[in-house]
């Protein structure tokens, strides 16, 4: 289950994109949200391999140490869920900017190396994106994920000219080069947030509550909660400390 839909297939496209319903070989990514008709995950979607020397690997796991590692990682990034992985799918893309196979094998030219990990267990599904060296390219590049009608999406990076930040040092879970997202929870989650404000008036003044809720939402999204999460203020209580 990903993005609320059950899929029996996954397509590892050589353009750095993973799709579910069909192969998507297009090399020029739209900027998210695209409001399209597909669910897809783009660890690094761009024009990667026109000459056929890029390498990629993918492997499915239903037991063993990979599931143990996935369980440990997800419980670290999303505590108090008691998650246990039962299925992991790992896809890795490895390219360098050259037409010389010797240069490719030695990685002696600028490299683009990244990985996507799909993790499921019980009612929960997660995605991890891992980044190694990611040289810039001359083509538009998009990193993140998007869904049917863009009801849920996240942009790690987009640039129409192929410029890339140092992705191997970026993260939303304090692990350089790694991004983690909860993309299916099966049931509605209620998240409680306790916070301290400088003044009680911060929430009682007209319009201030909405600003505070948007700040909380952005922090949750930065930590991997779905961008479609809704924030509602149910009660404001003033206490003495």
pLDDT of residue 238: 65
Q: Order of strands across the sheet with 154-159?
A: 11-13, 17-19, 40-45, 141-146, 154-159
Q: Is residue 4 part of a domain?
A: no
Residue ranges making up the domain that contains 205:
190-241
In the predicted model, is pLDDT for residue 235 greater than 70?
no
Q: Which residue stretches of the chain are H helix?
A: 65-77, 101-106, 201-204, 208-222
Average pLDDT for 227-240: 65
- Residue 113 sits in the same domain as residue 198: no
In the predicted model, is pLDDT for residue 113 greater than 80?
yes
Average pLDDT for 95-102: 77
By mean pLDDT, which of 99-108, 195-204, 207-216 is the weakest?
195-204
Phi, psi of 56 (to 5 degrees): -145, 150
Which of 165, 184, 203 marks a domain boundary? 184
- Residue 124 sits in the same domain as residue 175: yes
- Residue 65 sits in the same domain as residue 132: yes
**Kind of pairing, strands 141-146 and 111-121?**
unpaired
In the predicted model, is pLDDT for residue 66 greater than 90?
yes
Q: Is residue 1 part of a domain?
A: no
In the predicted model, is pLDDT for residue 29 greater than 60?
yes
Average pLDDT for 47-52: 72
Q: Which residue has the higher pLDDT, 101 or 9?
A: 9
The label of the residue with tokens 């890029």 reads 54
């Amino acid at each position: 289950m990903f993005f609320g839909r059950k899929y029996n297939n996954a397509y590892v496209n050589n353009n750095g994109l993973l799709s579910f319903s069909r192969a998507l070989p297009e090399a020029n990514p739209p900027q998210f949200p695209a409001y399209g008709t597909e669910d897809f995950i783009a660890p690094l979607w761009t024009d990667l391999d026109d000459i056929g020397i890029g390498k990629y690997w993918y492997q499915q796991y239903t037991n063993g140490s990979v599931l143990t590692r996935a369980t440990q990682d997800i419980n670290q990034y999303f505590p108090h869920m008691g998650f246990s992985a039962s299925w992991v799918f790992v896809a890795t893309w490895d390219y360098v900017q050259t037409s010389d196979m010797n240069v490719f094998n030695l990685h002696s030219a600028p490299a683009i190396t990244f990985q996507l990990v799909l993790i499921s267990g019980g009612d929960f599904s997660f995605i991890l994106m891992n980044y190694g060296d990611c040289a810039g390219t001359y083509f538009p590049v998009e990193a993140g994920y998007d869904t049917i009608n863009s009801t849920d999406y996240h942009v790690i990076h987009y640039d129409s000219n192929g410029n890339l930040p140092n992705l191997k040092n970026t993260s939303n879970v304090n692990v350089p080069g790694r991004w983690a997202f909860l993309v299916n929870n099966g049931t509605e989650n209620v998240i409680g947030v306790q916070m301290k404000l400088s003044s009680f008036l911060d929430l009682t003044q007209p319009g201030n509550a909405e600003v505070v809720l948007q700040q909380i939402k952005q922090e949750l999204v930065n930590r991997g909660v779905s961008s479609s999460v809704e924030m509602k203020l149910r009660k404001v209580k003033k206490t003495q400390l």
